[in-house]
Amino acid sequence: MSIAQILRVPILPFRMVNAHIIKTGDGCIVVDAGIPGSEHKIGKVLARNGMFYSDIKLIIVTHAHTDHAGSAARLRSLSGAPIMAHQGDMDYYTRKKPMTYCTTGLAGRLFFKTPVPHQPFEAFEPDILMSNADVMSLKDFGVDGIVRHTAGHTDGSIAVELSSEDALVGDLIASGILIGGIAFTGRAIRPPFEDDPHRVAEELERLVKSGAKRFYMGHGGPLQAPEVMRHVHALNQLPRHACAHAHCDHNSH
């Protein structure tokens, strides 16, 4: 199995929103699809690296927020690649329910007032649907790594762990300022929305303990393991209330 290379797709400038491509010697896997209309940005990075949409073997959607799932359906039609996602966010992928947003602070509350989190995306049914604690191997897609359920940011959040000690974790963690990116991208922060910080802390700690050294995220990044652990300790200091969206008065829960 060839060594995989991780390419960043800038969805918004200054690392505010990223998608990623795991490139192998024979095609690639796209991790997250950006806000609606991002397929051309992904296409541009493919072209710059000598690839076409047809080189996409798999589209992994880490969770159902619109800045990650937004272009997945469109990308599937362009590439013919299957979409892998987790059952926990299924009702949002199919748009049966409006997405819930548990804001983590001022930046999240301000971001929530912008059109970005509310952009309706084309509904889709994942072709490879993970459930509960399923672990999926990426070997069939040419990558030495796995996808695992890492709930906490949303119920159906998943993360990619590569044997190269790289982890692509969606919004389990962010870095920078405001929604992420912009400046101080070596410093971990909570993403603008997060359902359960204590669950997130458990998953991040598990990832570090299982050998992940570099973390690639949807907002900001990348981060090294020691900074991720510093963030885990900060999350563990937060008051322990089950979120259950009780303090989120922004949406229909």
Instruction: Output 53 or 124, the one with its CB closest to Zn ion.
Output: 124
Q: What mask of x and - would describe binding to Zn ion in positions 115 to 154, judged by CB under 5 A?
A: ----------------------------------------
Instruction: Provide the minimum distance between the beta carbon of 54 and Zn ion in the complex, in angstroms, as a whole number.
Output: 27
Q: Which residue from 126, 156, 197, 218 is in contact with Zn ion, where contact means CB under 5 A?
A: 218
Identify the CA nearest to 18 among candidates 170, 134, 236, 164: 170
Instruction: Output 91 or 144, the one with its CB closest to Zn ion.
Output: 91
Q: Give the pairing type, strands 214-216 and 223-224.
A: antiparallel
Q: Which residue from 15, 20, 23, 65 is in contact with Zn ion, where contact means CB under 5 A?
A: 65
Instruction: Output 142 or 179, the one with its CB closest to Zn ion.
Output: 179
In a 13 Å sphere around the CA of 179, the CA atoms on its Cβ side amount to 20
Instruction: Say how many residues touch Zn ion, by CB under 5 A.
Output: 4
Tokens of 252: 């229909």
Q: In the chain, what's the furthest Cα-to-Cα distance?
A: 49
Instruction: Output 27 or 117, the one with its CB closest to Zn ion.
Output: 117
Tabulate helix, strand, coil % of the chain (nearest 5): 30, 25, 45
Residue 196 touches Zn ion, criterion: CB under 5 A: no
The torsion angles phi and psi of 187, rounded to 5 degrees, stand at -105, 125
Q: Which residue from 55, 67, 89, 195 is in contact with Zn ion, where contact means CB under 5 A?
A: 67
Q: Which stretch binds Zn ion (CB under 5 A): 51-59, 63-71, 143-151, 208-216?
A: 63-71
Residue 171 touches Zn ion, criterion: CB under 5 A: yes
Rg of the Cα trace of the chain? 16
**62, 119, 195, 241 from 147: Cα distances, Å:** 10, 27, 20, 28
Q: How far apart are CA 243 and CA 116, in angstroms?
A: 23
Q: Which stretch binds Zn ion (CB under 5 A): 80-88, 123-131, 210-218, 221-229?
A: 210-218
**Contacting residues toward Zn ion, per CB under 5 A:** 65, 67, 171, 218
